[in-house]
Each structure stands twice: as structure tokens, then as C-alpha cells.
Amino acid sequence: MEIVVVLSGIRSLHNIGSIFRTSDATGVKKVYLCGITPKPVDRFGNAEKNLEKVSLGAEKWIPWEYFKTTSQVIKSLKISDYYIISLEQSKKSINFKTLDKNLKSKNISKIAIILGGEVDGVSKTILEKSDTILEIPMYGKKESLNVSVAYGIAVYGILSSRNV
């Protein structure tokens, strides 16, 4: 199975660094950075130290690409037969533990995980373009997890559900 991740409007360099590191640990093939999401290097080509500190250099070997909009990336990924999964709380979301049941009848070999910004999450426009919306159930008082933590749970859940 091939997995890529799309970061849509994530501002925190620490979260981006953590996502790169988790992507390396899980064999994710590529990281797409969209909109206001910072790149691993600044406009002068210098490493973003706060990202690099958390990623432990994973951004140097995990391929990444920048797109102005998330919609552009989704369009490109759909042409390449990626199944688009947004990680977000929504009336249409399914529990991430049930994903395998939803994919069993489909021959899915490529998955793109869309992650949204810490405050606003994945936009409604992007949710409408997604094939599935996954949600991680919350049992405490907080409504959500940190985006990089949620990504780690989701990507490992996807891998284990597909027996990879």
C-alpha cells in the first residue's frame, strides 16, 4: 500500500516536523504542503530549525512538494487513483477503527491522508472532495487531539487495518 499525506494550512513547524518524522516511521511516500503550511526550508533555502529539530532530519529524505491549494493536490492525486481520506470530526465521519470494513470491498492500493490546521481543521470544500472522512473518538473533555498525534494514530490504524 502506498500512502501520502497532505498538510492543508498547518502553521506549526513543530507539528510539521513531527508529521515528517512519523511519515518516515510509517513508510509514507511523500508529504504535500499546501497553502500557509511552511516548507522545510525558508525562502533563502535555509533549513527551518524548529521543524528540523523535531523531524530529526526526516524532511531531508522524505520527498515533499508544495502546492498553493489543497484542491490542486487532490485533483492530481485523484487522477493517480489515490483514495482521499480526510482526518476530521464531521457528521459524515466514520470511526477510524471501522475503516477496514469500508475498504474491504474496494481494491485500494493508494491512500492520501488530508490533515487540516489546528484551529479550523479540514475545510468543508476539501471534505466534500474526500472519499472518506475519518474521526478518532474522544473520551475526555477536550474535543480533539494535536494534529501530529492524530496523524500518528490514523496512519498506524490504516496500516494495521490493511495488514501491512
Residue 97 has pLDDT above 90, yes or no: no
Backbone φ, ψ for residue 109 (5° rounding): -120, -10
Residue 34 class from Cβ within 10 Å (0-12 exposed, 13-18 middle, 19+ buried)?
Answer: buried
Cβ partners under 8 Å of residue 142, min gap 6: none
Q: What pLDDT, on the 0 to 100 scale, is given for residue 13?
A: 95
8 A C-beta contact, residue 94 and residue 130:
no
- pTM (2 decimals)? 0.94
How do the domains of the chain map onto residue ranges? Answer: 2-161
E-assigned strands of 35-109? 64-67, 83-87, 94-95
Q: What pLDDT, on the 0 to 100 scale, is given for residue 2?
A: 94
Distance CA 32, CA 35 (A): 10
**pLDDT tens for each residue of 22-45:** 999 999 999 999 999 999 999 999
- Mean pLDDT (the chain) is 92
Residue 6 class from Cβ within 10 Å (0-12 exposed, 13-18 middle, 19+ buried)?
Answer: buried
CATH class, domain 2-161, is alpha beta
Distance CA 38, CA 107 (A): 34
Distance CA 146, CA 131 (A): 23
**pLDDT tens for each residue of 124-163:** 999 999 999 999 999 999 988 999 999 999 999 888 876 5
Q: What pLDDT, on the 0 to 100 scale, is given for residue 163?
A: 59
